[in-house]
A = this chain, B = another copy of it.
Amino acid sequence: MIHLKLYDPKPEQTRALGSYMEAHSHLLEQIQAGEDGYKDVLGWLHVSTWAGEAVLSQVEALAEKIRKDADAFVLIGVGGSNNTARSVIEALGTDGPEIIYAGNTLSPRALSQVMDAVKGKKIWINCIAKNFETLEPGSSFRILRKYMYEAYGSTEAAQRIIATGTRGSLLEGLCHEHGYTFLGFPEDVGGRYSGITSVGLLPMAVAGINIRKLVQGAMDMERSLLFASAGENVAFEYACIRNMLYKQGYALEMLASFEPAFRWFYKWWIQLFAETEGKEGKGLFPVTGEYSEELHAVGQFVQEGTPLMFETFLDVKTPVGTLVIENDGIKDAFDYLDGMDFQTVNRIAFEATVKAHSRRLPCLILTLDRLDEYCFGEMFYFFMFACCISARLLGVNPFDQPGVEAYKEQMFEGLGKQV
């Protein structure tokens, strides 16, 4: 489970939370009943439809084959096609092949580094592209595909190429034509909501992540959020608090944690909220704080700068490790740490920060049980559900992203693409 706690230095801002939740409970109930206005894109609500036994077995079998053969696995994807798998793999590590990320840049320098990194290794590539129109994965796929054909010849190259996209897409056609493995995911799951379909599950499984535990976490969270009433629904409560604070004039939500393992999860979270809410001149801008390190960067501003933000802390209940600071006989300025465990020191720093910051700005704490696959599954589902409701409270469409068309139009014109 995820637990929520709120410290608000101006309690009058959120005192009406109960009645606010009651007044907006119909939005929750509509989604729970599947009667939401966006029926066609609510597929992500039902975990078993996109990560059921058939998908899990297929992904695991394919991952096993790759793990036995590959030195490196290249994930070609950007945004929703990259952030979910990456956030789990970077947090929990890989015990399988090296995972190399491509398809997320147009820089010739960064891509040359990718091409240098694959040389001399046995590799598999996985191009992940919902509609196969996005420039970064499309262009990276081209250069990596060419490399594969040259390195392995067309037959073996084809065996080492996997593509993930929606059924009936151009990408699926390409796979059939050239003998690549195709993994499909449902049309009614949008890009930023697709991370725990085959999109994210294959790269995670290749890295040795227990995807069954992760999916179980998501399913348990589904059960909890789809059936809990407004007053008992923690995702709904989180969505309501952030919208109340937004209406009080807060412009930023800062997601912070004292565990640097969340570094890439932050990116997933930023995309989810920025793309879902940032429209019609509205929305809380999502930013993140990798504490304690970034207390030495943004800490001053949070405490005394323009009062723009509230903070949401990710806390992990079960210790993430142990490391004692032993006395080594050398007297320095840190003797007061003798015999303490970093777990304790880090927790004291966390509590001190919440205490100090919450004198000035609202601080929410979301507590996870552990840092593991199961809790990542819970978190992904929790935030997708909360974000969707949050957008409804804001009065915007949670599933589109019309604002990215402006630069794409300019870009395709510059590239001479026939539209």
Stretch of A234-242, A266-274, A376-384 lying at the B interface: A266-274
Q: Could you tell me if A296 and B411 are in contact, using CB atoms closer than 8 angstroms?
A: no
Stretch of A9-17, A100-108, A181-189, A195-203 lying at the B interface: A100-108
Chain A 141-153 interface 0/1 with B at a Cβ cutoff of 8 Å (1 = within): 1110110010000
Q: Could you tell me if A342 and B139 are in contact, using CB atoms closer than 8 angstroms?
A: yes
Q: Could you tell me if B139 and A296 are in contact, using CB atoms closer than 8 angstroms?
A: no
Partner of A283, one of B305, B415, B418: B305
- Which B residues are CB-close (under 8 A) to A61? none
Cα separation A285 to B297 with both chains bound (whole Å): 11
A117 is an interface residue with CB less than 8 A from chain B = no
Q: How many interface residues does A have (CB within 8 Å)? A: 115
A40 is an interface residue with CB less than 8 A from chain B = no
Measured CB to CB, the nearest residue on chain B to A414 is: B348
Q: Could you tell me if A330 and B145 are in contact, using CB atoms closer than 8 angstroms?
A: yes
- Which B residues are CB-close (under 8 A) to A413? 352
Q: How far is the CB of A81 from chain B (nearest CB, A)?
A: 9
Chain A 381-419 interface 0/1 with B at a Cβ cutoff of 8 Å (1 = within): 000000000000000000001111011111101111110
Residues of A at under 8 Å CB distance from B? 78-80, 83, 104-112, 115, 132-136, 138-139, 141-143, 145-146, 149, 170, 174, 178, 251-252, 258-261, 267, 270-271, 274-275, 277-285, 287, 292-309, 319-323, 325-326, 328, 330, 332-334, 336-337, 340-343, 345-346, 348-349, 351-353, 355-357, 359, 371, 401-404, 406-411, 413-418
What are 5 contact pairs spanning A and B, CB under 8 A?
A: A78-B293, A106-B345, A106-B349, A135-B345, A281-B305
